[in-house]
Amino acid sequence: MNPVTTIPPVPAGVEAFDARGVLRSALEALGRDRLALSASFGPEDIVLIDLLVELEPRPRVFTLDTGRLPQETYDLMEAVRGRFGIEVEVFVPDAAAVEAMVRAKGPNLFYDSIENRLECCDVRKVAPLRRALATVDGWITGLRRDQTPTRAATPKIGPDLEHGMIWKVAPLADWTEAQVWAHIRERDLPYNALHDRGYPSIGCAPCTRAVAAGDDPRSGRWWWESGDSRECGIHVASAGVLHRPTGEGTR
Ligand code: SF4
């Protein structure tokens, strides 16, 4: 199928569709080859893969391998490949860009400033994401509205103008975390072993730590920064006004 030059209109009434209905609508509108699930192998992504293979046995699933992921995430990637029999399209950072960044600023530059952290996320995540999204007319994400205030208005299907004229599809937008885990338990799906060790939200190893029970699930991500800077640029058009971290706890 050739790339479409304009995205189809968002299906009427999509907000009333359940997750399977959202996925079905997106597949019917864009086709298997031009719709891909962006998986960081969080629990939402596992649920989405499980739902997607019911509708399309060979779904496109891609991931961004930053080179700094925990071993447990690679183990899960293998478990997913085995369980579902799917290929995972792995996008890696540009080697020359990583080499230049690390040579100039060191391997742990992200702890030194928000600017450095965003530079690292840009090289290792955002640029590979742009390459991945250049191959689709729509991408599926595991965003849920109750994850962060910035995600509270996430539509189930909406235009993603940041990445060109493509669809951003969030079938689990109105799911709760409890619903996600109930589906995983019910279907005995694989999940990241770090979740059982106090890591509710998992990204790169040096930028993720365990949180105490009851704490904000995302407080273990870039924990040395102030709360309003904790996005990597993948799901925000702009990182907005970022505050430099205080000296305390920057390591
Ligand atoms: S999460 Fe940390 S290691 Fe991963 S890309 Fe961002 S700054 Fe770099």
Do the Cβ atoms of 55 and 183 come closer than 8 Å? no
- Within a domain: residue 234? no
Catalytic-role residue among 121, 204, 207, 232: 232
- Within a domain: residue 51? yes
Residue 240: which of 231, 248, 249 has the closest Cα? 231
Tens-binned pLDDT, residue by residue, of the chain (251 aa): 445 457 788 888 999 999 999 999 999 999 999 999 999 999 999 999 999 999 999 999 999 999 999 999 999 999 999 999 999 999 999 999 999 999 999 999 999 999 999 999 999 999 999 999 999 999 999 999 998 888 999 999 999 988 888 999 999 999 999 999 999 999 999 999 999 999 998 999 999 999 998 888 888 989 998 766 666 666 754 333 333 332 222 22
- Within a domain: residue 246? no
CATH classification at residue 38: 3.40.50.620
Do the Cβ atoms of 41 and 192 come closer than 8 Å? yes
* 51 vs 65: CA distance, rounded Å: 23
Atom 4 of ligand 1: nearest residue by CA position: 204
- Within a domain: residue 235? no
Atom 3 of ligand 1: nearest residue by CA position: 204
pLDDT reported for residue 28: 96
235 CB near ligand 1 (under 6 Å): no
221 CB near ligand 1 (under 6 Å): no
- The residues with which 139 forms a beta bridge, in sequence order, are 36, 168
204 CB near ligand 1 (under 6 Å): yes
121 CB near ligand 1 (under 6 Å): yes
pLDDT reported for residue 231: 63
- Within a domain: residue 201? no
Residue 193: which of 50, 97, 78, 28 has the closest Cα? 78
Domain that holds residue 165: 15-196
- Atom of ligand 1 at shortest range from CA of 118: 7
**Residue 120 a catalytic site member:** no
As for how many domains the chain has, the answer is 1
- The residues with which 160 forms a beta bridge, in sequence order, are 166
* 183 vs 125: CA distance, rounded Å: 28
